[in-house]
Amino acid sequence: MITKSKLAIELSKLRPFENPKLKAEQYMTDSENAAEALWLAKMRGDIDGRTIADLGCGTGILGIGAILLGADKVYFVDSDKTALRICRENLEKLGIEKNAEIVLSDVTKFNIKVSTVIQNPPFGTKTKHADREFLEKAFEISQDAVHTFHKLETREFVETFARQRGFVPTNLIKFEMPLKATQKFHRSRIRRISVGCWRFEKIAIEN
């Protein structure tokens, strides 16, 4: 079985974005943080043998990690053709494309029900409420659990939004996420922001 440290190493080898789009907030999820979040999902039973959606997958780091940890099938959903091309290349490099389905689509139009959603959506700093759209879709299609990254300062909104849609928080991992300089105007090589990865579980409705 792959270990958490081995997972982080494998994820660090994946191809990143070629020309990250600022408006879409395309930042590569750090491999160590991705491995930490995915390991929690595995330990909570949200990955093994499950069908998963990686919403706004970018180049595929979270979904690929889920396949490496035993997911039965992962839908890689993104509206960026270039990012999905790189995602496919990453899948093929690892020989795990048979467990993947690439979906070129705006996340709001993706309507396949899955066991688990994993996502690192835009934080809504460039396009207002972009994070809200991802949360709405995640809670709509997930039948069991949602793992989602957001700025820690939005904690009250994220948890209230989840409860209103029938999901409760069970775990929160806190990170100082490194964002590497990807635009010419970025002055620092790396800056860190306080981010959380929440696990939300669907509330069982008693008859």
At 38-93, the pLDDT tens digits run 999 999 999 999 999 999 999 999 999 999 999 999 999 999 999 999 999 999 99
pLDDT tens, residue by residue, 100-110: 999 999 999 99
| 17 falls within a domain | no
Whether residue 150 has pLDDT greater than 90: yes
User: Could you tell me if 106 and 79 are in contact, meaning their C-beta atoms sit under 8 angstroms apart?
Assistant: yes
**For range 19-38, the mean pLDDT:** 73
Whether residue 17 has pLDDT greater than 60: no
Residue 197 belongs to what domain range? 4-11+26-202
- Cα–Cα distance between 201 and 167 in angstroms, integer? 5
| 102 falls within a domain | yes
pLDDT tier at 183, thresholds 50, 70, 90: very low
Q: Which of 35-39, 83-87, 129-133, 149-153 has the lowest mean pLDDT?
A: 129-133
Tell me the pLDDT of the chain averaged across its residues: 88
Q: CATH number of the domain at 168, please.
A: 3.40.50.150
| 207 falls within a domain | no
User: Could you tell me if 100 and 54 are in contact, meaning their C-beta atoms sit under 8 angstroms apart?
Assistant: no
If one compares 128 and 81, the residue with the highest pLDDT of the two is: 81
| 16 falls within a domain | no
- Cα–Cα distance between 166 and 129 in angstroms, integer? 20
| 168 falls within a domain | yes
| 165 falls within a domain | yes
| 96 falls within a domain | yes
Regarding beta strands 51-55 and 73-78, do their DSSP bridges make them parallel or antiparallel, or are they unpaired? parallel
Position 125 scores a pLDDT of 52
How many domains is the chain partitioned into structurally? 1
| 21 falls within a domain | no
